[in-house]
Chain A
Amino acid sequence: MIIEHDEIDHVTAAAFAAATGWDPKPEGLCRGEVCVPAPGSLRDNGTVDVYVAASRLGMPVVTDDEHAVTAIGPGSTTGHTLSSAAAPDPELITRDGQPFRISSLHGRKVLLVAWASY
């Protein structure tokens, strides 16, 4: 998750959930039925203290001071890349630049194959 520093105190719960998969709620940071207690992460105005939230989820926070931008990495508390077998559903683009989500293929088996030009 990339956050410009002038936005870091204004990250909404929805934006944090969309970027990380963890939904800030009064009871904690939740993914499906799993909630991690995270007092102080969700402010009364609906924004997220990303430092508190990242700490609770074991997410690294990396900052480039020169360019005033921060990246929050994935959690590492489970010790594995996957913390759930539910397929992540990032927005990708087609050859023509159109957005595409794998969830649009719900109901079919999907073989997702990674390749590259290098």
Chain B
Amino acid sequence: MHAELEPRGLTVVTVALDVEPSHTYQWIDAAAPTHPSLIDTRHVTGELFGFINIPMAVWIDESGTIVRNAESASIERSALRDIDIPDGLPERMTRMLQEVKEIPDDAAAYRAAIVDWVERGAASDFVLSPDEVIARSRPRGAAEAEAAACFELGQHLRSTVGEEGAIPWWRRAHELDPGNWTYKRQAWTLVTTAPDATENDLIQGPNDVYTGNWLDDVVASGGGANYSTRPQL
């Protein structure tokens, strides 16, 4: 998308919400991006823009104004949605794939909306007013704000005293803001990934450190159909 739309005035900027920069390197290097490819080790963009899962995106115009708030941002249909789940997989894997197939697919419409914005600018029907952007941004009450502080404190302690410093604060963040998937997925993968693994564990199953895990939390929140922040196009 960047190569297609960059000449027409759009810069795609990717930002990885990863507390360990090294975990992103193989993905960035494989993609060899020509656009700015950034890393957010503190998840500060989650707090500031409202990213609570990935992929999500915001649109920022030429003046530095957000014209669409954070929302799910797939721009191409995931191959996982159309696969026939093979027989013989471990039950948990089968159930995970079933939930993944239920995640709403807005990729084509979202991509078309971006192209419309690039072509028509402020006249695009998909551009929101500042008041609309604020009103549509994720509700944040006292619990969500405290969760952000707990996650940041955990991240700081992880970097200064080690993993054990983060755990109680990340547990608290999960309790306070169960709808924030980046807080949970980040924490889970750090304890479920084998020490000698070359990639982060994406299954993020039951573990002895945190109460939740990907599959059970997705099911508890209403299933894959409720997993993403669907764009209101």
Q: Evaluate contact between A67 and B157: CB separation under 8 angstroms.
A: yes
**Interface of B: prevailing SS:** mixed
Assembly CA distance A100 to B45 (angstroms)? 13
Size class of the A contact interface (CB-based, 8 Å): 35 or more
Binding-face segment, B88-96, B100-108, B130-138: B130-138
A82 contact from B21, B50, B64, Cβ within 8 A: B50
Q: Which residues from 35 to 88 on chain A have a C-beta closer than 8 Å to any C-beta of chain B?
A: 58-62, 64, 67, 69-76, 78-88
Shortest C-beta distance, B210 to chain A (Å), equals 13
Set of chain B residues within 8 Å of A86, measured between Cβ atoms:
64-66
* Chain B residue total in the interface (Cβ 8 A): 88
A75 to chain B, nearest CB (A): 7
- Given A62-B146, A67-B160, A97-B21, A113 and B36 touching (CB < 8 A)? no
Using known A-B contacts A69-B157, A78-B134, determine if residue A118 contacts B146 with beta carbons closer than 8 Å. no
Task: List chain B positions with a Cβ less than 8 A from chain A.
Answer: 1, 9-18, 21, 23-25, 27-29, 36-41, 44-51, 54-67, 69-70, 73, 114, 117-118, 121, 130, 133-135, 137-142, 144-150, 152-153, 156-157, 160-161, 165, 169, 182, 185-186, 188-189, 199-202, 204
Q: Give me the interface of A with B, judged by CB distance under 8 Å.
A: 1-2, 58-62, 64, 67, 69-76, 78-90, 92-95, 97, 100, 102-103, 105-118
Q: A73-B149, A76-B145, A116-B186 are in contact. List 5 more A-B contacts (CB 8 A).
A: A60-B145, A81-B49, A87-B60, A93-B41, A97-B21
A-B pairs, 5 with minimum CB distance: A73-B149, A85-B130, A71-B153, A81-B50, A82-B137
